[in-house]
């Protein structure tokens, strides 16, 4: 069966503590290849949601590799650019997560992503051959030069290389929307970009963690958090299956294949959306032990689900995590 990315029903995965909120307003719109749901808790704030959708459309026009004349597509075809603004900020965050994760997070993953093309392959189709994978892996991990003079980034790509911001741009976008809502005086809101959640405002939020083997609205847990980003990467978002093997959309730069680190999902929780997003992808590639250690090193929290439905988390978030599905077990170690 063909999967079409993340579903609409994420609204249900997010609940507000003590909500009873009669004035809550939710709006949906499709951006950055996924459904975005923005909720505010005061009807007077509803008009600001549209401004966020405009901001997201503008960002998408810069960062999407699916838009042929986006800034990133132009960079990928010309092989060089001097970047400022959002794109530069995203690349700076990507470099930091890439360095911190020893390359598990790899901004140059476009050749692998194009080769595997999981969103367009049907179940039963054969995966790429090993020699194709070897070539794309080499292109994804070499030949990219990014230098920063503080004012702007200079990017040089050798032939065949390409940047793909799919693992980090949504987290960045969540923070940008949050900033805009706050500038408009919105004191409480929830931004959900295809499962990347950004809470806005004081007080507590209870955010659902998706069951990686359930429907979009099925949860395995709830975390109670303040203002932050809660970003999840999983093997259920985009994939095809052949001979019982799931080929998903997060690639291990060391193998050039969909990462097999024993995880079904990885959630990163913390202040900066781009870091949390890049980190969730990196943890998914690195696996439980290394991934959780990386989160702690970066000052972030994380929750991972292993293939045997065990849940592990960083110490700091444990008391705020509630398992709500008996199939999953929180392991303390």
Interface contacts to Mg ion, rule CB under 5 A: 167, 233, 277, 280-281
257: alpha, beta or left? (left if phi > 0; alpha if psi -120 to 50): beta
Looking at residue 121, the DSSP 8-state letter turns out to be: P
Nearest distance in Å: CB 171, Mg ion:
6
> If we measure between CA atoms, which residue out of 226, 224, 309 comes closest to residue 264?
309
Backbone angles phi, psi at 178, to 5 degrees: -60, -45
Distance CA 195, CA 41 (A): 20
Residue 106 binds ligand AMP (CB under 6 A): yes
Q: Which is nearer to ligand AMP, 105 or 220 (CB)?
A: 105
Among 167, 208, 221, 287, binds ligand AMP (CB under 6 A): 167
Which residue has 């991934």 as its token pair? 291
Q: Which two tokens stand for residue 288?
A: 């439980």
Q: Which does 113 bind (CB under 5 to 8 A by kind): ligand AMP, Mg ion, none?
A: ligand AMP
CB distance 240 to 258 below 8 Å: no
Element (H, E) at 183: helix 169-183
Q: Which residue is nearest to ligand AMP (CB)?
A: 166
Nearest distance in Å: CB 107, Mg ion:
11
> If we measure between CA atoms, which residue out of 29, 30, 63, 68 comes closest to residue 49?
29
Among 164, 175, 235, 301, binds ligand AMP (CB under 6 A): 164
Distance CA 112, CA 251 (A): 7
Q: Which residues contact 139 (CB under 8 A, 6 or more apart)?
A: 108, 111, 160, 161
* Listed ranges 120-128, 160-168, 182-190, 320-328: which one lies at the site for ligand AMP (CB under 6 A): 160-168
Residue 209 binds ligand AMP (CB under 6 A): no
Nearest distance in Å: CB 249, ligand AMP:
4
Distance CA 108, CA 163 (A): 5
Nearest distance in Å: CB 235, Mg ion:
13
Nearest distance in Å: CB 158, ligand AMP:
19
Q: Which residues pair with 313 in a beta bridge?
A: 303
Among 166, 174, 270, 291, binds ligand AMP (CB under 6 A): 166
Residue 105 binds ligand AMP (CB under 6 A): yes
Residue 141 binds ligand AMP (CB under 6 A): no
Among 86, 175, 277, 301, binds ligand AMP (CB under 6 A): 277
Distance CA 279, CA 25 (A): 31
Residue 113 binds ligand AMP (CB under 6 A): yes
Q: Which does 272 bind (CB under 5 to 8 A by kind): Mg ion, ligand AMP, none?
A: none
Give the three-state DSSP class for 45: helix
Q: Which residue is nearest to Mg ion (CB)?
A: 281
Q: Which is nearer to ligand AMP, 221 or 253 (CB)?
A: 253
Distance CA 207, CA 267 (A): 12
Q: Which is nearer to ligand AMP, 32 or 49 (CB)?
A: 32
Q: Which does 105 bind (CB under 5 to 8 A by kind): ligand AMP, Mg ion, none?
A: ligand AMP
* Listed ranges 15-23, 183-191, 243-251, 315-323: which one lies at the site for ligand AMP (CB under 6 A): 243-251
Among 146, 153, 178, 285, binds ligand AMP (CB under 6 A): 285
């Amino acid at each position: 069966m063909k999967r079409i990315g993340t579903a609409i029903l994420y609204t249900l995965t997010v609940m507000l503590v003590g909500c009873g909120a009669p004035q809550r307003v939710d709006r949906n719109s499709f951006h950055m290849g996924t459904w975005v749901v923005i909720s505010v808790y005061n009807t007077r704030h509803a008009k600001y949601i549209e401004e966020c959708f405009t901001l997201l459309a503008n960002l998408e026009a810069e960062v999407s590799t699916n838009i042929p004349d986006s800034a990133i597509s132009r960079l990928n075809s010309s092989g060089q650019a001097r970047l400022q603004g959002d794109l530069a900020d995203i690349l700076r965050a990507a470099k930091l997560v890439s360095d911190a994760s020893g390359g598990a997070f790899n901004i140059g993953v476009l050749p692998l992503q194009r080769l595997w093309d999981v969103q367009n392959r049907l179940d039963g189709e054969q995966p790429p051959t090993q020699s194709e994978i070897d070539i794309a892996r080499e292109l994804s991990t070499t030949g990219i030069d990014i230098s920063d003079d503080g004012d702007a980034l200079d990017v040089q790509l050798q032939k065949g290389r390409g940047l793909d911001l799919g693992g980090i741009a949504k987290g960045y976008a969540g923070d940008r929307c949050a900033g805009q809502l706050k500038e408009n005086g919105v004191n409480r809101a929830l931004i959900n970009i295809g499962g990347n959640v950004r809470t806005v405002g004081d007080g507590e939020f209870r955010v659902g963690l998706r069951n990686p083997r359930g429907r979009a609205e099925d949860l395995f847990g709830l975390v109670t958090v303040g203002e932050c980003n809660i970003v999840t990467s999983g093997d259920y978002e985009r994939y095809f299956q052949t001979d019982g093997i799931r080929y998903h959309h997060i690639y291990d730069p060391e193998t050039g294949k969909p990462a097999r680190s024993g995880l079904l999902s990885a959630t990163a929780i913390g202040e900066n959306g781009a870091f949390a997003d890049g980190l969730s992808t990196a943890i998914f590639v690195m696996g439980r032990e290394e991934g959780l250690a990386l989160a702690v090193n970066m000052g972030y929290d994380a929750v991972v689900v292993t293939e045997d439905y065990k849940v592990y988390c960083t110490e700091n978030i444990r008391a705020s995590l509630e398992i709500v599905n008996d199939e999953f077990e929180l392991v303390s170690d």
